[in-house]
């Protein structure tokens, strides 16, 4: 008889077993793996990966399986709370109130703001997964002051890639490791796309692929890399430009790909006397297919030796050379300008900056180039491109990349990531097998169609905002500024300070509102964002700002509402706390309208379905938003007669359509009256049940001929347009050269009519809005004496903890309760710091006392630590002597949200928080210093309603051991 495995996750429960299993979607990090939750007598006993889920295929990580301890955490908030009259913010003194009272209080306050000046209300959220709903709420309220955490996280990655290739890494695209031969991971920790990346890397390595990791620190995925290339933080752009230099010099770029699918061959105006200098030349006589994005560009046909319409039948564009149009206008192909730009970016130049030997840079460039050229893939899939040419097969160049926050969180990150996208394009790897592949709803137009509102007139009392609060500016006229060029948003997003801030600047909200620059606000609603701790730079000062008062005794930010499931550092500052549910207690949807879990072969969306009722008086934040939107009578939430449209959040998800009768809603699966349609169709009252029967996931596999070359794939475009993934069906040509950036530069130079930057920002815009990528040292580095602060300091998330979420989790605390500053032994020894000893780390902005750990896995110019393991005393249900507050530390105390002159410490193009730019020095502690971390904060008391879960429970063979 075959042996019965002790654990077979695919086997149904034994007969008479009192366990139940329920499918839902994990939310212990943002990767959204499918899970099966085992319940006994209504309690969670076990969580496993769902083998039938396309994303994780049964794989689960330490965080995912520890969800049980999040559910039963002593730090859970279970009752709405109000700050006790007479107590100060930060003291954490609360009294319980009823939900109805809390909602009425909010309704009345918000009603007043909405009827007078809607921008007095700001909504900022953390790593939530419902930005389609929170964004809709803000827009319907009429406030521009909304964003999630993207400006802090990786907006440079999104914007740098999307403004170049119309797609980005992680949720919207990634490396095709099933077919790649060479994989280069740069600036990535192990937290984005975690389980899928582990599965893909394991297959890739077993199949003989070569994995190169470029990172200041060798940790996580890098541990299994074939080669680790240490690099100094913030210098990735120099490396990438040197790689481009070498690839062009060696002629190892994919000329055919560049000529047909990028703007490398498009002619750029070189008449320096013209106000069109640097813009693409156009044929005014050409037929315009899409007036919203006229594509009447010119090529220099190297066969006919004359200017022709781009993609003219039989023409072959020159990529190099200097030409003159018939009217005498000097013109060059964009690629010529790129070649000229990178001429000085030699490997020897980059070696000085990056710390990577020039020979290594040359070898890597050569390896990338010949792998792409000599190991081509050809799939027998016929397809037709946007210009009507039929191709018998899909070809691929098997060099794949993956990059994330290590490149993004620098003030030079946008141009760095433009360089990466251009390198990937030179190698001919975009949406091709073995290279980078898009995931629905991407690719999108360069830039996508959504634009921010155009000025203060977009904000009107009792009216929805005129435009989505976030978008993708195409020209200076899309900026959200007033008549003087000043910002309209509280975070100064889409202003001349940070024109392309597609995800907002969460890290500047509290400072700006405290200072009243550009104006004070009344109410700040924060959801799942620990903005008094790790989701802010300059943590100690920001905490003071939250407590600071005006002359009349009112707080400078008068009303602070925090919605969270746990007692965090942030909740202590709230005037009103709304207890959220856990992910096991609520409905959620990972929507195509937002950030779905799509695969390369088609759109995938997924849901969470409650496996447990809410604990105590917890309510899902989604329900709170639907309730408030209905009470405040937002047009999208009430009938024309003013009656409530949606019973609750699940009802909203089923019945909401993007426009009346559009057939497009939050979920793409099982649409149509009986669930017979997908992607588009009438609302289906049984949609949730159908997701429940299908492991909470819907996967639409596109026809094979629609799965590649989607930027220029005629068949895909027609399908995408028919299901609402795209507004237009014109090709998405790769922007090697960005005339959009040049448009901003021309405005800064006073050569363009329309919106003009304020005088003090002209030079800044002119400098950074370069249509070609270039390298500059991070802004903080430029402003810092490098001899006094010789080291870079970076922070990253560990595998076992996500943001600050998990220090209340008893199982995960067994992996990390405190963090070290990892220092190269040579550097630590030179400073007289012992391995495991206490030390000081200091920046221009602050200092922290912490524990040192020697590590050979960090390049000598860098020190690093895990993010947000250190906690403030009293938060997260931890005892006052917990390791997290006594031995753990937060690097954010060393970082500043502003540079001298009150300019945000951010990328000047996108507003990405430059929290990886900080420069530090280290020293040993004095012999008589206490063995605790510094700074320390007054302990917040346990909030009412927390602590209902026991600190310890013991089980044996499924039975609880009672004392
Ligand atoms: S990778 Fe993230 S979503 Fe997946 S199981 Fe782990 S914690 Fe859950």
The structure tokens listed for 482 are 């007033």
Measured from the Cα of 56, ligand 1's closest atom is: 4
| Strand partners for 756 | none
User: In this structure, is the dihedral angle defined by the CA atoms of residues 105, 111, 117 and 121, taken in order, positive or negative?
Assistant: positive
Q: Is the pLDDT of residue 419 over 60?
A: yes
Measured at the CA of 458, the angle between CA 452 and CA 461, to 5 degrees, comes to: 140
pLDDT value, residue 519: 98
Using the mean position of ligand 1's atoms as its centre, give its distance from the Cα of residue 224 in Å. Answer: 20
CA of 175 from ligand 1 middle (Å) equals 19
pLDDT over 60 (residue 620) = yes
d(CA 225, CA 203): 13
In angstroms, what is the span from residue 187 Cα to ligand 1's centroid? 20
pLDDT at 736 > cutoff 90: yes
For 493-531, the DSSP string reads: TTSTTSTT-TT--GGGHHHHHHHTSS---SEEEEES--T
Contact 252, 366 (CB under 8 A): yes
> Cis peptide leading into 518, omega within 30 of 0?
yes
Tell me the average pLDDT across 488-511. 97
> Helices H, strands E: what count in the chain?
25, 38
- Residue located nearest, by CA, to atom 8 of ligand 1: 64
Query: What confidence category does residue 955 fall into, taking pLDDT thresholds of 50, 70 and 90?
Result: confident
For residues 612-634, average pLDDT: 98
Least Cα distance to 266 among 329, 308, 326, 314 occurs for: 308
Residues listed for the chain? 963
643-663 residue pLDDT tens: 999 999 999 999 999 999 999
Helix 413-426 vs helix 155-165: angle between axes, to the nearest 10 degrees? 40
Mean pLDDT within 715-728: 97
What's the CA gap between 835 and 852, in Å, rounded? 6
Instruction: Tell me the CA–centroid distance for residue 802 and ligand 1, in Å.
Output: 10
Q: Ligand 1, closest atom to CA 28?
A: 7
| Whole-Å CA distances, 339 to 333, 428, 498, 737 | 10, 17, 28, 11
Crossing angle of helices 99-116 and 621-631, rounded to 10°: 50
Residue 56 alpha carbon to ligand 1 centre in Å: 8
Which residue intervals of 265-357 are DSSP H helices? 334-342, 347-354
Q: What's residue 41's pLDDT?
A: 84
What's residue 944's pLDDT? Answer: 96
Centre of ligand 1 from the C-alpha of residue 30, in Å: 7
The predicted model gives 888-892 an average pLDDT of 97
Averaged confidence pLDDT in the chain:
95
Instruction: Write the pLDDT tens digit of every residue in 44-102.
Output: 999 999 999 999 999 999 999 999 999 999 999 999 999 999 999 999 999 999 999 99
Residue nearest to atom 4 of ligand 1 (CA): 33
Ligand 1 atom at shortest distance from the alpha carbon of 59? 5
Q: Is the pLDDT of residue 9 over 60?
A: no
Q: Which atom of ligand 1 is nearest to the CA of 25?
A: 3
Average pLDDT over residues 374-388: 98
Interatomic CA distance for residues 685 and 668, integer angstroms: 14
Atom number in ligand 1 closest to CA 62: 6
Span from the CA of 62 to the centroid of ligand 1 (angstroms): 8
- Per DSSP, 129 falls in state S
Q: Which residues pair with 301 in a beta bridge?
A: 306, 317
Q: What is the Å distance from ligand 1's center to 131 Cα?
A: 20
* Residue of 23, 51, 61 to test ligand 1 pocket, by largest number of atoms within 8 Å of CB: 61
On whether the CB atoms of residues 915 and 778 are closer than 8 A, the answer is no
| CA 799 to ligand 1 center in whole angstroms | 10
The pLDDT assigned to 189 comes to 74
pLDDT for 610: 98
Mutate to test the pocket of ligand 1, among 46, 64, 809 (most ligand atoms within 8 A of CB): 64
Look at residue 10 in the predicted model and tell me its pLDDT.
60
Q: What is the distance between the alpha carbons of residues 684 and 251, in angstroms, rounded to a whole number? A: 55
Which residue's CA lies nearest to atom 2 of ligand 1?
Answer: 29
Other C-beta atoms closer than 10 Å to the C-beta of 704 total 14
Q: How far is CA 1 from the centre of its chain?
A: 52
The number of the ligand 1 atom at minimal distance from the alpha carbon of 802 is 7
Span between the terminal Cα atoms of the chain, in Å: 41
pLDDT of residue 135: 97
CB-neighbour burial class of residue 792 (10 A; exposed 0-12, middle 13-18, buried 19+): buried
Per-residue pLDDT at 269 exceeds 80: yes
CB contact set of 336 (below 8 Å; sequence gap of 6+): 319, 320, 321, 322
Q: Are 583 and 129 in contact (CB under 8 A)?
A: no
Dihedral in degrees, nearest 10, Cα atoms 609, 614, 619, 625: 10
pLDDT at 129 over 90: no
Q: How far is the CA of 129 from the centre of ligand 1 (A)?
A: 14
In 692-766, the DSSP E strands lie at: 697-699
* In the block, residue with structure tokens 């994990």: 26
- 3-state DSSP: the chain helix, strand, coil percent, rounded to 5? 30, 20, 55
What was the pLDDT predicted at 15?
A: 67
Which residue's C-alpha comes closest to atom 5 of ligand 1?
64
The pLDDT assigned to 171 comes to 87
Confidence check: pLDDT of 957 > 80:
no
Q: Are 352 and 286 in contact (CB under 8 A)?
A: no
Work out which ligand 1 atom sits closest to the CA atom of 61: 6
| Ligand 1 atom closest to Cα of residue 63 | 7
| Band of residue 962 on the pLDDT scale cut at 50, 70, 90 | confident
Atom of ligand 1 nearest to the CA of 49: 5
Give, for ligand 1, the residue of 171, 195, 201, 220 to mutate: max count of ligand atoms closer than 8 Å to Cβ.
195
Q: How far is the CA of 238 from the centre of ligand 1 (A)?
A: 34
Residue in 71, 73, 80 with CA at minimum distance from that of residue 574: 80
Ligand 1 center from residue 47 Cα (angstroms):
11
State which of 60, 190, 590 you would mutate to test the pocket of ligand 1, scoring each by most atoms of that ligand within 8 A of its C-beta.
Answer: 60
Of 558, 559, 541, whose CA–CA distance to 550 is shortest?
A: 558
**Residue 504 CA to ligand 1 centre (angstroms):** 26
Indicate whether 127 pLDDT > 90: no
Residues with CB under 6 A from ligand 1: 26, 28-29, 31-33, 56, 60-61, 63-64, 194-195
- Provide the pLDDT confidence category of residue 428 given band limits of 50, 70 and 90: very high
Q: Which atom of ligand 1 is nearest to the CA of 194?
A: 1
Span from the CA of 171 to the centroid of ligand 1 (angstroms) = 14
Using the predicted structure, report yes or no on whether residue 18 has a pLDDT greater than 80. Answer: no
Mutate to test the pocket of ligand 1, among 9, 31, 197, 801 (most ligand atoms within 8 A of CB): 31
Indicate which atom in ligand 1 lies nearest the CA of residue 195. 1
**Predicted pLDDT of residue 295:** 94
* Percent of the chain residues past pLDDT 70, beyond the cut: 98
What is the reported pLDDT for 17?
66
Atom of ligand 1 nearest to the CA of 35: 5
Q: Is the per-residue pLDDT at 12 higher than 70?
A: no
* Cα–Cα–Cα angle for 358, 164, 190, rounded to 5 degrees: 65
Residue 2 pLDDT > 60: no
Q: Which long-range contacts (CB under 8 A, 24 or more apart) does 722-729 make?
A: 722/680, 723/668, 723/679, 723/680, 724/658, 724/662, 724/663, 724/664, 724/679, 724/680, 725/440, 725/441, 725/592, 725/603, 726/444, 726/445, 727/445, 727/449, 728/290, 728/292, 728/293, 728/445, 728/449, 729/386
Residue-wise pLDDT for 514-531, tens only, equals 999 999 999 999 999 999
Ligand 1 centroid – CA 807 distance (Å): 16
Q: From CA 323, how far away is CA 373, in angstroms rounded?
A: 30
Residue 53 Cα, ligand 1 centroid: separation in angstroms?
12
Q: Which pLDDT value is given to residue 950?
A: 77
- Please give the distance, rounded to the nearest whole angstrom, from the Cα atom of residue 200 to the centre of ligand 1: 15
Say if residues 193 and 31 touch (Cβ distance below 8 Å).
yes
Ligand 1 centre distance from Cα of residue 596 (Å): 15
What's the rounded mean pLDDT across residues 605-619?
A: 97
Which atom of ligand 1 is closest in space to residue 65's alpha carbon?
5
Tell me what pLDDT residue 8 has. 64
Query: Best mutation site among 58, 127, 194 for ligand 1, i.e. most ligand atoms within 8 A of its Cβ?
Result: 194
Residue 724: pLDDT band by 50, 70, 90 thresholds? very high
Choose the residue to mutate in 9, 29, 170 for probing ligand 1, maximizing ligand atoms within 8 Å of C-beta: 29
Q: Does the pLDDT at position 219 exceed 70?
A: yes
Residue 495 has pLDDT above 70, yes or no: yes
Residue 59 alpha carbon to ligand 1 centre in Å: 9
Model pLDDT, residue 188: 87
Query: Distances from the Cα of 255 to the Cαs of 36, 313, 943, in angstroms?
Result: 49, 18, 64
pLDDT tens per residue across span 336-374: 999 999 999 999 999 999 999 999 999 999 999 999 999
Peptide bond into 443 cis (omega under 30): yes
- For residue 29, the ligand 1 atom closest to its alpha carbon is 2
Instruction: Give 158-216 pLDDT, tens digit per residue.
Output: 999 999 999 999 889 999 999 999 999 999 877 677 899 999 999 999 999 999 999 99
- 11 pLDDT band, cuts 50/70/90, is low
Ligand 1 centre distance from Cα of residue 162 (Å): 26
pLDDT at 698 over 80: yes
Full-model pTM:
0.97
Phi and psi at residue 96, to the nearest 5°:
-80, 150
Separation of 21 CA from ligand 1 center, angstroms?
A: 18
């Amino acid at each position: 008889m075959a042996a019965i495995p002790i654990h077979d996750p695919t086997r149904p429960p034994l007969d008479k077993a009192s366990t139940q299993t329920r499918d839902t979607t994990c939310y212990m990090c943002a990767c959204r793996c499918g899970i099966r939750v085992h319940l006994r007598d209504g309690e969670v006993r076990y969580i496993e990966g769902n083998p039938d889920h396309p994303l994780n295929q049964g794989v689960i990580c330490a965080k995912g399986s520890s969800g049980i301890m999040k559910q039963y955490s002593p730090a859970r908030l279970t009752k709405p709370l109000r700050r006790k009259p007479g107590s100060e913010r930060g003291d954490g003194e609360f009294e319980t109130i009823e939900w109805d009272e809390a909602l009425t209080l909010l309704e009345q306050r918000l009603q007043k703001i909405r009827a007078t000046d809607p921008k007095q209300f700001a909504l900022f959220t953390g790593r939530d997964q419902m930005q389609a709903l929170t964004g809709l709420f803000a827009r319907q309220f009429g406030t521009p002051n909304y964003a999630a955490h993207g400006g802090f996280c990786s907006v440079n990655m999104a914007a740098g890639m999307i403004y170049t290739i119309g797609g980005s890494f992680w949720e919207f695209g990634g490396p095709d490791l099933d077919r790649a031969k060479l994989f280069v991971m740069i600036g990535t920790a192990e937290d984005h796309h975690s389980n899928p990346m582990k599965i893909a890397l394991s297959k890739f390595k077993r199949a003989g692929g070569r994995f190169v990791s470029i990172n200041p620190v060798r940790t996580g995925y890098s541990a299994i890399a074939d080669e680790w290339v240490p690099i100094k933080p913030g210098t990735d752009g120099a490396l990438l430009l040197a790689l481009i230099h070498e690839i062009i010099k060696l002629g190892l770029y994919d000329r055919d790909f560049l000529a047909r699918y990028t703007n490398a061959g498009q002619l750029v105006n070189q008449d320096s006397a013209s106000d069109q200098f640097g813009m693409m030349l156009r044929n005014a006589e050409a037929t315009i297919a899409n007036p919203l994005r006229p594509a009447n560009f010119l090529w220099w046909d190297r066969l006919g030796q004359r200017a022709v319409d781009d993609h003219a039948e039989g023409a072959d564009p020159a990529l190099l050379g200097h030409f003159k149009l018939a009217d005498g206008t000097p013109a060059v192909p964009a690629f010529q300008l790129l070649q000229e730009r990178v001429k000085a970016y030699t490997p020897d130049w980059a070696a000085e900056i990056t710390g990577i030997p020039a020979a290594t840079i040359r070898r890597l460039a050569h390896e990338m180039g010949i792998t792409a050229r000599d190991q081509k893939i050809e799939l027998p899939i016929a397809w037709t491109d946007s210009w009507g040419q039929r191709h018998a097969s899909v070809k691929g160049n098997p060099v794949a990349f993956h990059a994330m926050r290590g490149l993004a969180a620098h003030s030079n990150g946008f141009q760095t990531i433009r360089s990466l996208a251009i390198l990937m394009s030179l190698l001919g790897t975009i949406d091709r097998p073995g290279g980078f592949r898009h995931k629905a709803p991407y690719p999108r137009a360069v830039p996508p169609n959504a634009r921010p509102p155009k000025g203060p007139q977009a904000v009107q009392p009792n009216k929805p905002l005129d435009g989505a609060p976030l978008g993708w500016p195409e020209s200076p006229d899309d900026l959200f500024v007033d008549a003087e060029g000043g910002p309209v948003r509280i975070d100064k997003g889409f202003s001349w300070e940070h024109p392309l801030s597609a995800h907002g600047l969460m890290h500047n909200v509290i400072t700006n509102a405290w200072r009243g620059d550009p104006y004070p606000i009344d109410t700040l609603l924060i959801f799942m964002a620990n903005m008094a701790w790790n989701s802010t730079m300059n943590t100690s000062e920001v905490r003071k700002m939250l407590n600071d008062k005006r002359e009349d005794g009112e707080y400078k930010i008068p009303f602070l509402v925090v919605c969270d499931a746990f007692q965090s550092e942030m909740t202590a500052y709230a005037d009103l706390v709304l207890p959220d549910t856990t992910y096991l207690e609520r409905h959620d949807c990972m929507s195509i309208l937002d950030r779905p879990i799509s695969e390369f072969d088609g759109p995938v969306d997924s849901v969470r379905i409650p496996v447990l009722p809410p604990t105590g008086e917890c309510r899902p934040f989604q329900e709170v938003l639907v309730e408030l939107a209905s009470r405040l009578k937002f047009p999208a939430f009430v009938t024309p007669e003013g009656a409530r449209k949606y019973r609750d959040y699940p009802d909203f998800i089923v019945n909401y359509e993007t426009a009346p009768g559009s057939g497009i809603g939050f979920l793409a699966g099982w649409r149509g009256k009986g669930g017979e349609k997908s992607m588009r169709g009438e609302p289906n009252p049984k949609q949730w049940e159908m997701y429940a029967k299908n492991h909470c996931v819907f996967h639409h596999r596109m026809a094979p001929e629609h799965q590649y070359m989607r930027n220029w794939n005629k068949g895909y475009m027609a399908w995408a347009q028919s299901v609402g993934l795209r507004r237009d069906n014109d090709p998405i040509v790769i922007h090697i050269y960005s005339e959009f950036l040049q448009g901003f530069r021309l405005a800064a130079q006073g050569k363009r009519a329309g919106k003009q930057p304020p005088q003090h920002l002209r030079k800044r815009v002119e400098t950074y809005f370069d249509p070609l990528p270039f390298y500059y040292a991070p802004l903080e580095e430029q402003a810092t004496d490098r001899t006094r602060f010789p080291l870079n300091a970076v922070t990253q998330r560990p595998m076992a903890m996500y943001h600050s979420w998990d220090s209340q989790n008893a199982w995960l605390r067994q992996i990390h309760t405190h963090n070290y500053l990892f220092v190269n032994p040579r550097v630590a020894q030179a400073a007289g710091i012992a391995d495991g000893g206490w030390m000081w780390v200091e920046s221009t902005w602050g200092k922290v006392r912490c524990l040192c750990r020697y590590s050979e896995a960090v390049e000598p110019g860098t020190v690093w630590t895990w993010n947000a393991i250190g906690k403030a005393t009293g938060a997260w249900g931890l005892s006052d002597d917990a390791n997290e507050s006594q031995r753990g530390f937060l690097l954010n105390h060393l970082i500043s949200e502003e540079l001298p002159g009150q300019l945000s410490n951010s990328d000047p193009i996108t507003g990405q928080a430059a929290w990886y730019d900080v420069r530090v020095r280290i020293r040993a502690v004095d012999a008589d210093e206490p063995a605790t971390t510094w700074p320390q904060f007054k302990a917040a008391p346990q909030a009412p309603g927390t602590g209902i879960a026991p600190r310890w429970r013991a089980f044996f063979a499924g039975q609880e051991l009672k004392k």
